[in-house]
């Protein structure tokens, strides 16, 4: 069975795997998910670089298990944010936008090396899980399955994704303006805070001649595009 799975993997992109598996292995939903999990591990062991890209920017999404909160108070958000800073130093990745919501998070991240994304997300989420469980005296997973991600494929895609991320907290009713939500890249961009973790994407730098002009244009784009931006399709990653 595993040999067949490897063959299917070699011939199909991950986004086409579910219908292929349903046809080959008519089983329950739970059984199908187990088959897919084996397949994802096989992809990684075989060298999944063909599903990654050099100098790529990824939109990464993580959600709490059963959609429950993973951040309860300000100190929780601060801890995850400090973890981002910690692992930036270790892995050398760039982060262009981020948003930490009560039960999920978004990152727009550019790994330094192919294959680093899974290491980065494993480090971030595992270290936070261990800290969270000690703090709240609980055990088990706090994140729902794998993180999800997709490659940003154009400048327009980057702008749309940026606006979607930055306006998420407004659309959820957590803030009246995107720059007013403390646990976001927009807040960091518009406020003076310590331990900044943001990097400046070239597209952002091209918005204006100086930072004041860039912020103004960026804010206008964000408000205009964010209200129309749709949630992107993100793929499960191991």
Q: 220 pLDDT exceeds 80?
A: yes
Residue partners of 75: CB distance under 8 A and separation at least 6 = none
What is the rounded distance in angstroms from the CA atom of residue 59 to the CA atom of residue 61? 7
In the chain, what are the domain boundaries? Answer: 2-51, 58-236
Neighbours of 39 (CB within 10 A): 21
pLDDT band at 193 (very low <50, low <70, confident <90, very high): confident
Q: What is the average pLDDT value for the chain, to the nearest integer? A: 79
Instruction: Note the pLDDT tens digit of each residue in 105-140.
Output: 999 999 999 889 999 999 999 999 999 999 999 999
Instruction: Note the pLDDT tens digit of each residue in 43-74.
Output: 344 333 334 556 799 999 999 999 999 999 99
Q: 35 pLDDT exceeds 90?
A: no
Q: What residue has token string 């429950």?
A: 68
CATH number of 58-236: 3.30.70.1290
pLDDT band at 235 (very low <50, low <70, confident <90, very high): low
As a whole number, mean pLDDT of residues 141-155 equals 91
Q: 30 pLDDT exceeds 50?
A: no
Three-class SS of the chain: CHHHHHHHHHHCCHHHHHHHHHHHCCCCHHHHHHHHHHHHHHHHHHCHHHHCCCCCCEEEEEEEHHHCCCCCCHHHHHHHHHHHHHHHHHHCCEEEEEEECCCEEEEEEECCCCCHHHHHHHHHHHHHHHHHHHHHCCCCCCECCCCEEEECCCHHHHHHHHHHHHHHHHHCCCCCCHHHCCCEHHHHHHCCCCCCCCCCCHHHHCCCCCHHHHHHHHHHHHHHHHCCCCCCCCEECC
Question: Residue 95 is inside which H or E element, if any?
Answer: strand 94-100
What pLDDT does 146 receive?
A: 79
């Amino acid at each position: 069975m595993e040999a067949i799975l490897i063959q299917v993997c070699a011939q199909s992109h991950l986004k086409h795997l579910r219908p292929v598996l349903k046809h080959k292995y008519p089983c329950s939903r739970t059984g199908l998910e187990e088959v897919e999990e084996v397949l994802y591990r096989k992809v990684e062991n075989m060298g999944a670089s063909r599903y990654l890209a050099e100098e790529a920017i990824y939109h990464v999404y993580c959600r709490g298990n059963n959609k429950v909160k993973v951040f309860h108070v300000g100190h929780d958000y601060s801890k995850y944010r400090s973890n981002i800073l910690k692992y930036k130093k270790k892995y050398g990745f760039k982060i262009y936008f981020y948003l930490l919501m009560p039960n999920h998070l978004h990152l727009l991240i550019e790994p330094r090396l192919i294959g680093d994304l899974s290491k980065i997300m494993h480090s971030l989420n595992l270290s936070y899980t261990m800290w969270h469980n000690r703090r709240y005296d609980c055990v088990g997973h706090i994140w729902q399955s794998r993180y999800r991600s997709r490659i940003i494929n154009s400048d327009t895609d980057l702008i749309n994704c940026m606006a979607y991320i930055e306006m998420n907290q407004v659309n959820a009713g957590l803030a009246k303006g995107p720059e007013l939500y403390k646990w976001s890249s927009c807040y960091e961009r518009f406020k003076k805070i310590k331990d900044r973790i943001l990097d400046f994407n070239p597209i952002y730098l091209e918005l204006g001649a100086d930072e004041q002009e860039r912020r103004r244009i960026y804010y206008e784009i964000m408000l205009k595009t964010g209200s129309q931006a749709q949630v992107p399709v993100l793929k499960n990653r191991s």
